Chains A and B, each alone.
Chain A
Amino acid sequence: MSWVTTFFTSSIGRKLIMSLTGLFLITFLIVHLIGNLQLLYNDGGQAFNVYAKFMTSNPFIKFTSYGLYAGILLHAIQGIILWRKNATSRPQRYAVASKSTSSFTSRNMGWLGMIVLIFILIHMYQFWLKMKLGDVGMATYDGKQVKDLYKLVAATYQNPLFVIFYVLSMAAIGMHLWHGFGSAFQTLGLNHKKYTPFINTLGKVYSVLIPLGFAIIPIYMFFVLNR
């Protein structure tokens, strides 16, 4: 085996992939949230639709988006491999399980990740795929025609079941990040009393604020548009 395969199939090499793709996806969430917050503008969706047009046509962003899809896939596949392997490391479970020495989120990263993956698939089917296939109407701003993604989003969030689904999924992402953020740095080998408390606090704040920001959108759109 070459050193590349030896390294990336070792336990620490696999964890490194999880850490780097995880951190990449964490940074993506900020960009995604900032863009999505335009849904809250009271302009009938113009700002959001113009932004969506930009995001789907700018060559640099298109290029980055392929990196993002690869990142999600790599993180998910590697995560499932780790999850499977770790499950076989203790074939016989304890009759009495201790839950006091580790956090709920850290013990359940596999399950939480699976919920997030299912969410991403449904989310991409609902918006990304329909947008790609041109399954949306058009809106005209200043004589230019753009796809009316806003209308699709607004219609989706008329349904209370989808609002609940999105909010619960954000809770799962928040819990996944609650452990994942700090854990990514530990895997990179960055643990020092100078900065680790800061990273951990930042991770907790991040894992609450970002999912909360996303969750506000369907709730706001449901209550404002359904008034």
Chain B
Amino acid sequence: MSDMNLKLKVWKQNGPNDKGRFENYKVVANEHMSFLEMLDVLNEQLISEKSDPVSFEHDCREGICGACSMVINGRPHGPNKGTTTCQLHMRFFKDGDTITIEPFRANSFPVIKDLVVDRSAFDRIIQAGGYISVNTGQAQDANAIPIEKDVALDAFSAAACIGCGACVAACPNASAMLFTSAKVAHLGHLPQGKVEHDKRVQKMVAQMDEEGFGMCSNTYACEAECPKEISVKNIASLNRNFIGKVFKTE
């Protein structure tokens, strides 16, 4: 196990109205640590020095919750494809590297502190229609409603979205189209979700616009940075549904 001496350039900001600035730190990590564990080491060091630790978000640390964020050397969730920050290991960096860490930057994601941003705009998009209105009861038998394999696969791959916001962070326009389209697609592909599909498309897009996200210009940076590799095919499908629903809804 070899030690790595790293220089960190970390964004520090006390709140949404603070201007914010970069702070430089030195940390000794090893290649088996995850990126968040490396930050834990830094924070222990800062706390023992009685300095303000770096705030960052994390929860499951196994790549499924979508809590970890941060932009590492200009890439949301770091340099690896299909990987969240918590699953990024220090062996992908070199001894002596300088790593720049910034929060997800978007008008709709105000900074709460340092690397923690308020992503509740996503929650409001979900609240606008990202659900199915059914009375919950006992779960139905899995094979009671036959679903074609390809349809199930499309629904599942859209449902893999963990709502982390990397798509917004990566997009030059801070657009939330990949997130919104994935949520619409995963419900809309399945029979239970089809009932409210047209209204859902309309309401979720309206909420997305209201939150102030930018407009998609098909750069596909979102797809490239998405830790769950959600396809931009979902965006095309959302466009198609939104344009088509004009003729169907009131």
Contacts and interface: CB of A to CB of B under 8 A. Distances in A.
Contacts of B102: 94-96
A11 B74 contact: no
A90 B107 contact: yes
A102 B173 contact: no
Contacts of A57: none
B218 A183 contact: yes
B16 to A, nearest CB: 11
A186 B246 CA distance: 18
A189 B246 contact: no
Interface stretch (B32-40, B52-60, B86-94, B204-212): B204-212
Interface string B184-211: 0000000000000000000001101100
Interface residues on B, range: 35 or more
Nearest to B217: A109
B218 A187 contact: yes
A198 interface: no
Interface string A10-54: 111011100000000000000000000000000000000000000
Nearest to B225: A101
B69 interface: no
Interface stretch (B42-50, B131-139, B235-243): B235-243
Nearest to A105: B219
Nearest to A180: B218
Interface in B172-190: 172-175, 177
Contacts of B221: 98, 101-102
A102 B172 contact: yes
A107 B242 CA distance: 25
Contact of A10 (B75, B205, B237): B205
Contacts of A91: 107
Nearest to A6: B206
A89 B224 CA distance: 20
Interface residues on A, range: 35 or more
A85 B215 contact: yes
B175 A98 contact: no
Nearest to A185: B236
A11 B108 CA distance: 15
A86 B217 CA distance: 9
B239 A96 contact: no
Interface string A160-196: 0000000000000000000100110011111110000
Nearest to A90: B174
Interface in A72-100: 82, 85-86, 88-98
Contact of B213 (A3, A7, A89): A89
Given A86-B215, A96-B73, A189 B173 contact: no
B5 interface: no
Contacts of B174: 86, 89-90
Given A11-B175, A95-B11, 4 more contacts: A14-B215, A85-B215, A106-B217, A191-B235
Interface of B: 9, 11, 20, 22, 71, 73-75, 100, 102, 105-108, 170, 172-175, 177, 205-206, 208-209, 212-221, 224-225, 232-233, 235-244, 246
26 contacts: A11-B175, A11-B209, A11-B213, A12-B242, A15-B239, A86-B172, A86-B174, A86-B217, A89-B107, A89-B174, A89-B213, A90-B173, A90-B214, A92-B20, A93-B105, A96-B73, A101-B224, A106-B220, A179-B218, A182-B218, A186-B232, A186-B236, A189-B236, A189-B238, A189-B243, A189-B244
Top 9 nearest A-B pairs by Cβ distance? A189-B240, A89-B214, A191-B236, A96-B74, A101-B224, A86-B173, A102-B219, A98-B74, A89-B174
Interface of A: 3, 7, 10-12, 14-16, 82, 85-86, 88-98, 101-103, 106-107, 109, 179, 182-183, 186-192
